[in-house]
Amino acid sequence: MRIAFFDSGIGGLSVLEEALSRRPEVEFLYYADTDHVPYGQKSRAALIDYAGSAVSFLLAAGADAVVVACNTATAAAIDFLREQFSAPIFGMEPAVKPALAETAGRRVLVLATPLTLREQKLHHLLDAVDPAHCADLLPLPGLVAFAERREFDGPAVQDYLQQALAPFTLANYGAVVLGCTHFNYFKDSLAALLPAGIQFVDGCRGTINHVFHTLGLSAGDAGVGTVHYFQSGRAVTDPVQLDDYHILLARLSWLRHL
């Protein structure tokens, strides 16, 4: 079984890390569209084109299923991908429903890219799961750029987050939804600015639960899956780049428990 993960850059590693933590005996492919990152402020038409090329490449490389490990690409292109390809195509969506369920009527702050927040997919979800209008939306496109520069903390990140969060009375919130897979790298930086007790909720665990269940995979400790990395269709073989991915996965593994 080969499962592929596709993202604009390093964000989807947070979904891959969740899959690796289950240790299935699976071969993974990871495709970062580094030629076109970031996705969050591009047009829907462009993202459909990028996503179609990525999924076509991954299926030709032997993938049995593809996880669009990017909320933005899912919002823009998942319907097109499922119409275009017969293989199982899984997407991501901001984990608003579990966040609302876990906060007992308190407000929920949904962090995502501008495109994710304006696409109808999210608004249909909110209509279905948030009749009391407890969710507020905050675009944070700058975090994608910080992540791609491997700048996860420090004064510039803190200043950016402080300014973005300033309009919100944070004591009213019970959860923060990380609605972009890049945002998982910033849990510690966000935690430093948020009141104690606010939960982080993302879609990684739920997505992998769904993927494994649909594909009939066990979540036991059958072995550690191997990963083959690609950047916009080019195999990653440089040891420095591979080590960078391993370091990023290690950071995500540490942050997953915050």
Q: Encode pLDDT of 180-198 as tens digits.
A: 999 999 999 999 999 998 9
The contacts of residue 208 (CB under 8 Å, 6+ apart) are 15, 18, 19, 22
Query: Domain residue spans in the chain?
Result: 2-91+204-255, 96-201
Q: Verify cis geometry, omega within 30 degrees of 0, for the bond prior to 141.
A: no
pLDDT of residue 224: 62
Closest of 197, 210, 190 to residue 89, by C-alpha = 210
pLDDT of residue 26: 84
pLDDT of residue 105: 80
Low-confidence ranges of the chain (pLDDT < 70): 23-24, 219-225
**Strands (DSSP E) found in 19-87:** 27-32, 65-68
Domains 2-91+204-255 and 96-201 share a fold: yes
In this structure, CATH architecture of domain 96-201: 3-Layer(aba) Sandwich (3.40)
Residue with token string 């927040």: 117
pLDDT of residue 256: 83
| Catalytic sites, residue numbers | 70, 180
Residues 162, 14: Cα–Cα separation, whole Å: 24
Domain range 2-91+204-255, CATH class: alpha beta
Q: Dump the DSSP string for 200-228.
A: EE-SHHHHHHHHHHHHT---S-S-PPEEE
pLDDT of residue 225: 67
pLDDT of residue 217: 86
